[in-house]
Amino acid sequence: MLNNNYNFSSLAFFSKEEKSISDEQPPGLPIKLDGFKVAPLVSLADADLQQKLSEIVANNKKWAALAKSKKLSIGLVDLRDPANVKYANINGDNMMYAASLPKIAVLLAATDAIEKGELVETDEIKADMRLMIAKSNNAATTRMIDRIGLDKIAEVMQDPEYDFYDRTHGGGLWVGKRYAKTGPRKGDPLKNISHGATATQVSRFYYLLAFGQLVNFERSKEMLGYLGDPELHHKFVNTMDQLAPKAQVYRKSGSWRDFHSDSALIWGPNWRRYIIVALAEDADGEKLMRDLIKEVDGALKTQ
């Protein structure tokens, strides 16, 4: 768990009084606390949250069948109390083809390269990273991949500092091909997937970003800036537009043929503070994503 060497007194957005302020937008992320240390996400598995998530899937025959056949993976992180983060998953370590969702790996690798002086952070690069994330632009992503290289992305994903691709736990985030018809292909070591992800590793990505733990605090803030205000309003965002139009949504999704994925860090107002990740192989995956986040949002509200 997080240690207790910090003061919550000045953090109004964690206070009980906040629940009565229905229209107040919470402060932005990352969360900045003095002297705190994040615990590994998998160590925060919570039985009650797991039961909620498992019931949501079990109560939908189609989702239950997809989960049983390893064609549906879900990660859920409850961030409402930063001193008591909770995690649950369905097939969390099952790596699946994730289309454009792994562009977050390119974002991290590029940010890591910029911080280390391996890549100059020009206005052109900033524009391409925004296009890559907010609009999921393949041409901009390919330009970024060409600048840093597939080997650099693989190196960062497997760097012990990040550990976003772990062969002992099903793999994780992987980008082994440009988002273009041409160029080399380097599938991941376990499943030979070109653009892959697991729900657990994507959940970790947002979890660490939320606490300013990727590269450093300022670089985490920059990455959240690229992920914020998504310009594609489908899947999770489509539902959140209706349920909580004032909430901040940091998001990256992906779709290709029957493969659909989405990931989002939802931040306020009030009690809505959670991470949700889903990967599905299903022709109707777009609707599945919209319905899933609605069920999860409702379950968290009742807790």
Q: What is the pLDDT of residues 37-52, one digit of tens each?
A: 789 999 999 999 999 9
pLDDT in tens, 218-242: 999 999 999 998 988 999 999 999 9
Query: Looking at the DSSP assignment, which residues form a beta bridge with residue 97?
Result: 196
Query: Is 70 exceeded by the pLDDT of residue 1?
Result: no
Binned at pLDDT 50, 70 and 90, residue 21 comes out as: very low
According to CATH, what is the number of the domain 26-301? Answer: 3.40.710.10
d(CA 282, CA 262): 13
- Note the pLDDT of residue 96: 98
| Sequence spans of domains, the chain | 26-301
Judged by average pLDDT, the poorest of 6-15, 138-147, 160-169 is 6-15
What percent of the chain has pLDDT above 70?
89
Q: State the Cα torsion 54-31-231-283 to the nearest 10°.
A: -20
Q: Is a pLDDT exceeding 80 seen at residue 55?
A: yes
- C-alpha dist (Å) from residue 273 to 80, 91, 97, 179: 5, 22, 27, 32
Model-level pTM? Answer: 0.91
Mean pLDDT of 231-254: 95
On the question of pLDDT at 70 being above 70, the answer is yes
According to DSSP, the β-strands at 273-281 and 72-78 are antiparallel
Mean pLDDT of 144-173: 97
Range scoring the smallest mean pLDDT among 13-22, 32-41, 145-154, 290-299: 13-22
Residue 100 pLDDT more than 60? Answer: yes
Complete DSSP assignment for 125-180: HHHHHHHHHHS--HHHHHHHHHHH-HHHHHHHHH-TTT--EEGGGTEE-EE-B-SS
